[in-house]
Structure 1
Amino acid sequence: MGSEMEESKEFVGEKNWKKTIFGRLKPYLLCVFCSFCYAAFNIISMVCLDKGMSRYVLVAYGYVFGTVATAFLALLLERKIENKISLPACIDILLLGLLGTSGRIVFYAGMEYTSPAFASAMNNLVPSITFILAIFFRMEKLNLLKLSGQAKIAGTIIAFGGATLMTLYKGITVVSLHASHTHAASKILIYRNLIKGSLLLLFSDLLAAAFYIVQATAVKKYPAPMTLTTLSGLSGTIMAIIAAAVPDHRASSWRLSLNITLIAPLYIGIVIFGITTYIQTIVVRTNGPVFVTAFRPLITVIVAIMGPFILGEALHLGGIIGATMIILGLYVTLWGKEEEKQSSSHQLETPVICDQEIEIRSQK
């Protein structure tokens, strides 16, 4: 009888241990999956834009397909959840739609002036900008007297330095699958496009960081992630259609064919605006917005590997050094955040132990 009880305890302990390990790895695995989705998104979007599709129409179709997909999933997964939408939640939903639509349009514009690899490298600034906004809105703490706080500041400065280097310095071609002969006039045009595209991408990073901040507050006010994703997608759809109708009134711009112009909106809508946004909402609710944005560098690595083979892009020395600095700065910031988290959890555990010791002594 005793041996059976011991075996059952061991089984329960092993089961709990597996649950604990999976529970810890789950947010990491979900964020890695989202990184692969976003890497493919950058490549597919660039191919579609090169085919002549309007960036406004691409965003609008993406939101349409994404809203339909998430509405279906919300009906299946969250139909039993009853949550009334308050006025503050409605404001957050409208903000999410506005930030998501404008951020995606500006991102496409910046990517057209540069490249998917450059755009994904600049996107690594999103964690640093998110961290700054989180401090401003008191979602993150910063203590400059501690090493963790100093690491956060140093990492942010290094990341922004890398972005500046990528913008101002192109350098020699390191990797290129196609021979290129560029004249002086075309070099000046490329440099101007690089600066223009970098500024657009920097603005899109600011909008993306603001999106994560609003998302973190919205999910607390309306704890139904898929329904929240659907409502914010519906808000984005309305705004994207209005934004697309203003510069382009031609009906031919909205025509979809059985090629990349259909595949791209479907992928963007279902996978990016639907599945990955829902996954990020879940992870933001449990781990915060800074954790979600920490996996941006993985997108850069994937796109940098895929870009030369699919799009024939060239990798330049300035881009490689700048991207390395951004990634280094990002992980210095994350190290500081993790150190701060461990020290705060240790401080919370200490009083509990003392109370238990006092209780034992009083019983004696």
Structure 2
Amino acid sequence: MGLRVGSSWKEMLMPSMGMVLAILAIVTTMIVSKLAMSKGLSSFIIVVYSNAAATLILFPACIFIYVARSGSRPLTFSVIWRILLLALNGCFGQICDYVGISYSSPTLATAMLNLIPGFTFILAITFRMEVINWRSWSSYAKAFGTAVSISGAFILTFYRGPQIINQHLTSAFSSQQNWILGGVILACESLSTSLWYIIQGIIGIAFRSCMTTWCLKKTDPLFVSMFKPLGVVFAVVIGTFCFKDVFYIGSLVGSVTTVVGFYAVMWGKAQEKYCERKNSETLGENVALLQNEAQQV
């Protein structure tokens, strides 16, 4: 069920709060992980612990749900190796995420997440899952947004500039060892996430977080995606004012540029869905009209 035009604020309140909490949880996890790594904990150990905890909690629940559904697809070898392929790709993305954060900051990590729609668009074209129609404004918007997002990522990675906040305070995080390397690794993490979505589309398996799934059922993908840039704001506020993290002018410029590209891609996708829905409605009306004329004859 998607949000309709003119939906009351009460219908949007709970999904909005849900997405804000989901984004806040992601940013908090990044910040806590950065603090732990600053104290000497290995990023690879965090990946092992997080996956072990997720397996202990989620695996029994998944088995219960699978058994409870009478019409579930049988667990054949083909299904199992596809799940393993997704798991390997997801694990690689997690490693890139934590290693990238250890070399940079949670602010850079959350800003780099806005690259995912652009990378997904490029991969979808590469795997011929999407075709560019240069006579459509939606294609121009997605191509423009992808280019802008990647430009913002370059700014984030290769330009730091002067400090904006906390110029004379000591950060609770360790000093950034290699900002450029961290940015490149985090860009690889975004690319891995995009590939994760593409693989799901190719092999017909879909996984989402519980909160995101609930919000998707109450609204639509565009509504959910609108909240992702909030991660940058949360990371800056929490990291800067609670842990005395340093915020640079390059982070500000790059984050804004990446968010602009993100919204351009999402606008293009929204326009594309709108045109598809209008064409479907027009086709349905024409079919109904022809059926009525045939009955009259």
Q: Same fold (TM over 0.5)?
A: yes
Matches within 5 A, 1:294-333: 295-333=227-265
In the alignment, the residues of structure 1 paired with residue 222 and residue 124 of structure 2 have an alpha-carbon distance, to the nearest angstrom, of: 8
1:148 corresponds to: 138
Which one has a bigger Cα radius of gyration?
A: 1
1:205 corresponds to: 190
Counterpart check, 1:193 vs 2:181? no
Counterpart check, 1:36 vs 2:24? yes
Q: Is residue 37–residue 43 contact of structure 2 (8 Å, CA) maintained in 1?
A: yes
Q: Is residue 148–residue 339 contact of structure 1 (8 Å, CA) maintained in 2?
A: yes
Q: Is residue 112–residue 186 contact of structure 2 (8 Å, CA) maintained in 1?
A: yes
Q: Is residue 167–residue 195 contact of structure 1 (8 Å, CA) maintained in 2?
A: yes
Cα deviation digits, residues 140-196 of structure 1 (max 9, x gap): 34212211111110111111111111122111211227436xxxxxxxx96x71111
Instruction: Give the AA of the match of 1:131.
Output: F
In the alignment, the residues of structure 1 paired with residue 144 and residue 260 of structure 2 have an alpha-carbon distance, to the nearest angstrom, of: 10
Counterpart check, 1:357 vs 2:289? yes
Structure 1: runs of 5+ lacking an equivalent: 1-16, 181-188, 226-275
Counterpart check, 1:110 vs 2:100? yes
1:61 corresponds to: 49
Matches within 5 A, 1:1-364: 31-81=19-69, 82-176=72-166, 178-179=168-169, 193-218=178-203, 220-221=204-205, 277-280=209-212, 295-364=227-296
Q: Is residue 107–residue 235 contact of structure 2 (8 Å, CA) maintained in 1?
A: yes
Q: CA deviation at 1:324?
A: 0.2
Instruction: Give the AA of the match of 1:122.
Output: M
For 2:130, what is the secondary structure of its paired residue?
Answer: coil
In the alignment, the residues of structure 1 paired with residue 210 and residue 246 of structure 2 have an alpha-carbon distance, to the nearest angstrom, of: 34
Cα deviation digits, residues 50-100 of structure 1 (max 9, x gap): 222221111111111111111233355443113312343222211121111
For 1:47, what is the secondary structure of its paired residue?
Answer: helix
Q: Is residue 128–residue 330 contact of structure 1 (8 Å, CA) maintained in 2?
A: yes
2:3 corresponds to: none
In the alignment, the residues of structure 1 paired with residue 103 and residue 267 of structure 2 have an alpha-carbon distance, to the nearest angstrom, of: 34
Q: CA deviation at 1:216?
A: 3.9
For 1:174, what is the secondary structure of its paired residue?
Answer: strand
Q: Is residue 56–residue 105 contact of structure 1 (8 Å, CA) maintained in 2?
A: yes
Cα deviation digits, residues 293-347 of structure 1 (max 9, x gap): 6643121121111111232111111110110000001101111111111111111
The count of corresponding residues between Structure 1 and Structure 2 is 285
In the alignment, the residues of structure 2 paired with residue 278 and residue 148 of structure 1 have an alpha-carbon distance, to the nearest angstrom, of: 30
In the alignment, the residues of structure 2 paired with residue 142 and residue 203 of structure 1 have an alpha-carbon distance, to the nearest angstrom, of: 24
Q: Relative to structure 1, is the Cα distance of residues 149 and 287 closer, same or farther in structure 2, using a 3 angstrom cutoff? A: farther
For 1:144, what is the secondary structure of its paired residue?
Answer: coil
Query: TM-score by structure 2 length?
Result: 0.82
Q: CA RMSD in A?
A: 3.3
Instruction: Give the AA of the match of 1:198.
Output: G
Instruction: Give the AA of the match of 2:149.
Output: A
Higher relative contact order (CA 8 A, sep 6+): 1
Instruction: Give the AA of the match of 1:58.
Output: I
Query: TM-score by structure 1 length?
Result: 0.68
Report sequence identity in percent: 29
